[in-house]
Amino acid sequence: MLMNFLRRLIPFRPPRRELHTLASVDAYSKWATTYPPNAHNALMQVEERAMLSLTLPMDGKIVLDLACGTGRYGLLAWDRGAKTVIGLDNSPDMLHANSLSLKSLSGVTAIPLAANSVDVILCGLGLGHEKRLDAALAEIGRVLRPNGGYALVSDFHPFMFLSGARRTFQAQDGKTYAVEHYPHLYADYHRAAWAANLLIEQVVEPHLDVETSSAENIPAKATEAPVVIVYRLIKP
């Protein structure tokens, strides 16, 4: 019963034998046309609020929306006065559906930008799809400007995945698919950040919003475990 409530609200569900897992690029190819550039479910709303709570000023800054998808965080950066916004993603279809003018096809482990060239990196719900967290954080650490540069990174909480929840979506063919995901523990982020000369300055682990949950009649139990984890990393 609890999972039925959660399934209505957030794009995950317990694994079922018939649930097919797609590689990230294949999944987002099917999902892109119906993936709006805003927080379109309760998990994303909670995640976005947490990301914005850790945001430092962006006016006049060069901002990289990494694993940008359809551009949710790039658009928020524009609204906050960024001077330049660059979107990178490894899904051609997500990029096609993205309205940012400066965008390019790129994986998170090989960012096509110069060292120390970016003031702010926003990476929403992307790194969980990448197995090589160390390589991704090494790239974030390389392109980020020192002395004031910061990155906000959000991830599907490993508690969720390790409890059996999956990141799922319904494709145009009517089928529900799971998306490739790798649970990264806090210790994994800490080790990778340290190796990349990044400091984890803030971490938040928000739960499903209690107000939304009670409005939707969700059992209190659903709000007990955090659904996402959000990091603010700085380059000293």
Closest CA to 230 of 148, 123, 147: 123
- Residue of 30, 103, 129, 232 that binds ligand SAM (CB under 6 A): 129
N- to C-terminal Cα separation, the chain: 47
Estimate to the nearest angstrom the gap between the alpha carbon of 82 and the chain centroid: 20
Closer residue to ligand SAM in complex, CB, 89/209: 89
Q: Exactly one of 6, 46, 130, 150 binds ligand SAM (CB under 6 A); which one?
A: 130
Q: Is 168 in the site for ligand SAM (CB under 6 A)?
A: no
> Pick from 12, 46, 64, 126: which binds ligand SAM (CB under 6 A)?
126
Residue nearest to ligand SAM (CB): 69
DSSP-derived 3-state class of residue 173: coil
Interface pattern 176-215 for ligand SAM (x via CB under 6 A): ----------------------------------------
**Judged by CB under 6 A, which of 94, 97, 160, 192 binds ligand SAM?**
94
Contact string (CB under 6 A) for ligand SAM, positions 33-72, x = contact: ----------------------------------xxx--x
* Tally: H helices and E strands in the chain: 9, 11
- Residue whose CB is less far from ligand SAM, 153 or 234: 153
Only one residue has tokens 């399934």, namely: 7
Tokens, residue 101: 């003018």
Q: Phi first, then psi: give them for residue 88, nearest 5 degrees.
A: -130, 140
Q: Which stretch binds ligand SAM (CB under 6 A): 76-84, 88-96, 112-120, 190-198?
A: 88-96
Q: Where are the beta strands (DSSP E) in the chain?
A: 12-13, 20-22, 62-66, 84-89, 103-105, 120-123, 150-156, 166-170, 176-179, 199-204, 228-234
90 CB contacts (<8 Å, ≥6 apart)? 24, 25, 67, 105, 106, 107, 108
User: Which residue's CB is nearer to ligand SAM, number 2 or number 72?
Assistant: 72
Q: Which stretch binds ligand SAM (CB under 6 A): 86-94, 144-152, 157-165, 204-212?
A: 86-94
Residues of the shown chain interacting with ligand SAM in the complex, contacts defined by CB under 6 A: 24, 28, 67-69, 72-73, 89-91, 94, 107-108, 124-126, 129-130
